[in-house]
Amino acid sequence: MRGTTVSDNNLVGIIMGSHSDWEVMQHAAKTLDSLGIANEARVLSAHRTPEQAFEYAATAPERGIEVLIAGAGMAAALPGVLAAKTTLPVLGVPLVSGPLGGQDALYSIVQMPPGIPVGTLAIGKPGAINAAFFAAAILGLRYPEIRRAIEEARAEKRDAILAAVDPKQA
């Protein structure tokens, strides 16, 4: 089923605070695409476009969105702002920016107040990829074809490792 779109509606919304964040967040979109999960990406800032970010989160369910992935650097308010306006699962990806190399974003996202959860992933590209897999796992509870796509992706990774030659001979 990999590569086959599960739904005509976008099931995952990928949101980032600035266009430059796409360099990392595109990996979430590519991973979702490879699993056949329709998704959309938007640039909405918690600080520069807060009303639009609130509206996006509040209206996501009526557009068919079931999971949000939000990438943010520095103060990293975007995932929390989205989580404050929706009960959908929100997955936060801390982005590398500023002098602290993304640690500030990680701490900002992971320290949400009780009752407004944000699932927090690793900093940067690995976090974006794992956010997509985590979104797929959430969706896989409802869509068996997504669960199968995850299983196939994991099997491909396993088979690639097992097919590799002895590292001493590489």
**What was the pLDDT predicted at 1?**
45
| Domains of the chain by residue range | 12-163
pLDDT by position in tens, the chain (length 170): 455 566 779 999 999 999 999 999 999 999 999 999 999 999 999 999 999 999 999 999 999 999 999 999 988 899 999 999 999 999 999 999 888 999 999 999 999 999 999 999 999 999 999 999 999 999 999 999 999 999 999 999 999 999 988 878 76
**What was the pLDDT predicted at 167?**
78
**What was the pLDDT predicted at 3?**
52
Q: Could you tell me which CATH number the domain at 12-163 has?
A: 3.40.50.1970
State yes or no: 48 annotated in a binding site.
yes
3-state secondary structure the chain: CCCCCCCCCCCEEEEECCHHHHHHHHHHHHHHHHCCCCEEEEECCCCCCHHHHHHHHHHCHHHCCCEEEEEEECCCCHHHHHHHCCCCCEEEEEECCCCCCCHHHHHHHHCCCCCCCCEECCCCHHHHHHHHHHHHHHHHCCCHHHHHHHHHHHHHHHHHHHHCCCHHHC
